[in-house]
Homo-oligomer: A and B are copies of this chain.
Amino acid sequence: MRAREILFLFAIGAAGGLAGDAGNVQSGMTRYLDGAGPQIWNSAWWFPILVGLGTVAVGVTRLSLGAPRPGFDFRIGIGAIAAVTAIYAISDAAFWNELNDSIGKVVLCTALAVLLACFIADVPGVLCGLGAALAGPAVEMAIVQVDLSSYAPMADGLFGVALWLPPLYFAFGVAVARITELMVARRTSAT
């Protein structure tokens, strides 16, 4: 990948992470603890950096898994970002009057993540999604373990993090893989 492509992936990951996390913090779904450091919007300063780095890592992984599909259409990329952001925002919602890991919320986030994959993913994209669904929650578990943040008491059923986190990261991985394909396709179409 070219330097400006890496910067672009980092920037959209950081921006999307900030917007989604702002809603999570405002709703009380997640909380930064003493020692998490200075804030950007509602997030600790290191949160958008981690999401941005994760976005670059998914992009690199996608390219290592096989040739990207040709064809550039920026609407696919914007739509993919919008879809992940929508799932992130749904994770704020209190289904039946409390912030929790309700089956309904987890099933809804999972169904929407799968629907996104049906629209845009190829096999390497699904692998990127699965990788993100493993690595993302694992990093968040570690952050919770070292007392930098915590999830709401009824929404921490997966080793301290929320049960809707794996489908959210799956959608994230699928979307970033597709955006990476579009970036490569744009090189050719711009030539």
Contacts and interface: CB of A to CB of B under 8 A. Distances in A.
Interface in A4-36: 19-20, 22-24, 26-28
Interface residues of A, number: 42
Contacts of A105: 89, 92
A86 interface: yes
Interface in A28-63: 28, 42
B97 A94 contact: yes
B82 A27 contact: no
B96 A28 contact: yes
- Which A-B residue pairs are the 6 nearest by beta carbons? A92-B104, A79-B118, A23-B104, A89-B108, A86-B111, A23-B103
Interface in A73-101: 75-76, 78-79, 82-83, 85-86, 88-99
A185 to B, nearest CB: 17
